[in-house]
Amino acid sequence: MQQVMMVGAGSVGGFFGAHLARKNPNVSFLLRPRTLKAVREYGLMIRSASGHFTVRPMAASDPKDLPTPDLIILSVKAYDVDEVLTQIEPVMTDRTVLLTLQNGVDTEDRILARFHRDCVVGGVAFIYSKIVEPGVIEHYKSGSVAVGELMGHKSPRVLQIADLFTRAGLSCQVVGDIRRSKWEKMCWNCVFNPLTVLINDRVAKALDHPEMLRVIHQIVGEVAAVAAGMKVPLEADMADKVLRWSQEIRDIHTSMYDDWKAGRPTEIDYLNGYIVKQGQELGIPTPLNEALTAVVKVITERERSGPGILRIDGAVIQPIALDRGALAKLPDEHQVPDVGALLPGVRGRGIRVKGLLEMPALEIGADHATFHSQDGQFAASLTVKQAVEHGIVIYQLDGEPLPEQKGGPFRLVTPGLGDLCANVKGVTRIELTKGPGKDTRPSQQGKMQS
């Protein structure tokens, strides 16, 4: 294996790839543009208690700009694997080997299903490190890998991979049952990745509460049951092993915690979510993993924004973001199935502003509601009383989202307001204010503004 392509330079790939490149000039990196820019300018830096070093490997964002690889090490997140496979497929030959270092247990099968040939070596990474900034990795604990053939034999290519890591000064163990090794790590990941998010703290916080120990046993029990259903039996004391393994890394956060805090997507669908999905197919109950999946998704969801979201903010205790589906679920008393019955010439389904303003708790003194267009050009500021009595936000036309050419994504109309009528197209924000807010309506004519 002369040429090695490292895909990704994050907390895992950056650490292992830098060590490999330090000893081997034939290691190149396939990187995203932002990371590529940093690595080209400053190199790839590893900061560790055992010492700092920087490498300047060959790197590109197009695999065709790198030497044709004999070995490709996939160190991207599980949710990026499919995109990466599409990217590297043009440079793969019938001899290219892929080494996986993802969390989860299904990456290898996904690759085999795509390429229909024996091109995969399974891997498990054991490391605690973080991305400080693009091209800069801080390494705190561990830093070893386990590799193995999916069929369990010690093939020449597995031994060559192990030799690459060993010559780079890295610990690499060849294991006879890599699937089992991955499932054992899956047990740990399914416990502590979501729990550190839920408790917003380190592993130790979960370990130090007796009530949590029973929960941990139950989570591992569900994972082990699914593993057995998929013909990978784990040891009966798997939960106790997970707890023992955790003692030496009590002080760490997890990768899921770090991803959440950095605003990155999490791998919950490939950990607990995968257990839930497989449990459903196998008829194995996984209630704790299902709960963990749901709660982590709620906690880590980025604040919704964009043209399909109506945000209510300003002088409120807590902002609210609603999509069209949420508007459709509001009580029937606030729904206006046919706005045209109240305002001839206008079509669509709407929701009364009264129903919208009943949701947030308004700050004391908030007396105006200002409706802003998405482009920021138009706004109408009504008293809360006017908005509640007359305001309607149109959000649907003929059962579909209100199109932009008809004033979508949301359009304010105020039938019955007379000369003070307010008609704002492209609304995406309702701002509560103390006193009048921005108003672009002609003050004298009170005509439609947009």
- Helix, strand counts (H, E) of the chain: 15, 20
Place of tokens 């070893």: 144
For 295, the domain range is 182-300
Query: 446 lies in a domain?
Result: no
User: What is the full per-residue pLDDT of the chain (450 aa) written as tens digits?
Assistant: 799 999 999 999 999 999 999 999 999 999 999 999 999 999 999 999 888 999 999 999 999 999 999 999 999 999 999 999 999 999 999 999 999 999 999 999 999 999 999 999 999 999 999 999 999 999 998 899 999 999 999 999 999 999 999 999 999 999 999 999 999 999 999 999 999 999 999 999 999 988 999 999 999 999 999 999 999 999 999 999 999 999 988 898 999 999 999 999 999 999 999 999 999 999 999 999 999 999 999 999 876 666 789 999 999 999 999 999 999 999 999 999 999 999 998 999 999 999 999 999 999 999 999 999 999 999 999 999 999 999 999 999 999 999 999 999 999 999 988 878 889 999 999 999 999 999 999 863 344 334
Provide the pLDDT for residue 27. Answer: 97
Beta bridge partners of 133: 136
Query: 129 lies in a domain?
Result: yes
CATH code: domain of residue 367: 3.90.420.10
- Alpha-carbon distance of 216 to 242, in angstroms, equals 9
Query: 440 lies in a domain?
Result: no
Residue 337 falls in which region: left (phi positive, over 0), alpha (psi -120 to 50) or beta:
alpha
CA-closest candidate to residue 311, choices 360, 355, 358? 360
Return the H-helix or E-strand segment holding 381.
Answer: strand 379-383
**Residues 261 and 342 occupy one common structural domain:** no
Task: Return the structure tokens found at 293.
Answer: 């999946």
Rounded to a whole number of angstroms, the CA Rg of the chain reads: 28
- Alpha-carbon distance of 231 to 226, in angstroms, equals 9
- Alpha-carbon distance of 234 to 227, in angstroms, equals 7
Amino acid letter, residue 117: R
**Residues 265 and 324 occupy one common structural domain:** no
Query: 441 lies in a domain?
Result: no
Place of tokens 């490391």: 127
Provide the pLDDT for residue 447. Answer: 40
Provide the pLDDT for residue 389. Answer: 95
Place of tokens 């590109």: 60
- Alpha-carbon distance of 401 to 395, in angstroms, equals 6
**Residues 130 and 252 occupy one common structural domain:** no
CATH code: domain of residue 171: 3.40.50.720
Task: Return the structure tokens found at 217.
Answer: 């046993």
Q: Is the Cβ–Cβ distance between 434 and 363 less than 8 Å?
A: yes
Provide the pLDDT for residue 450. Answer: 40
- Alpha-carbon distance of 371 to 422, in angstroms, equals 9
Distance from CA of residue 189 to its chain's centroid? Answer: 16
Taking the CA atoms of residue 148, residue 153, residue 159 and residue 165 in that order, the dihedral angle to the nearest 10 degrees is 10
**Residues 400 and 333 occupy one common structural domain:** yes
- Alpha-carbon distance of 18 to 381, in angstroms, equals 57
Domain boundary, last residue among 176, 197, 223: 176
Provide the pLDDT for residue 446. Answer: 40
Query: 442 lies in a domain?
Result: no
Taking the CA atoms of residue 27, residue 29, residue 30 and residue 35 in that order, the dihedral angle to the nearest 10 degrees is 180
Tally of domains within the chain? 3
Domain boundary, last residue among 271, 300, 329: 300
Pairing of strands 120-133, 379-383: unpaired
What is 185-248 written as a DSSP string? HHHHHHHHHHHHHHHTS-HHHHHT-HHHHHHHHHHHHHHHHHHHHTT----TTHHHHHHHHHHT
Place of tokens 């299903």: 113
Query: 448 lies in a domain?
Result: no
Provide the pLDDT for residue 449. Answer: 38
Provide the pLDDT for residue 132. Answer: 93
Q: Give the strands of the sheet with 368-373, arranged side by side.
A: 320-323, 309-314, 427-433, 368-373, 379-383
**Residues 24 and 65 occupy one common structural domain:** yes
**Residues 18 and 164 occupy one common structural domain:** yes
Domain boundary, last residue among 300, 321, 349: 300
**Residues 94 and 147 occupy one common structural domain:** yes
**Residues 26 and 167 occupy one common structural domain:** yes
Task: Return the structure tokens found at 119.
Answer: 């091109």
**Residues 213 and 68 occupy one common structural domain:** no
Provide the pLDDT for residue 422. Answer: 87
**Residues 39 and 128 occupy one common structural domain:** yes
Query: 439 lies in a domain?
Result: no
Provide the pLDDT for residue 304. Answer: 65
**Residues 277 and 234 occupy one common structural domain:** yes
**Residues 73 and 141 occupy one common structural domain:** yes
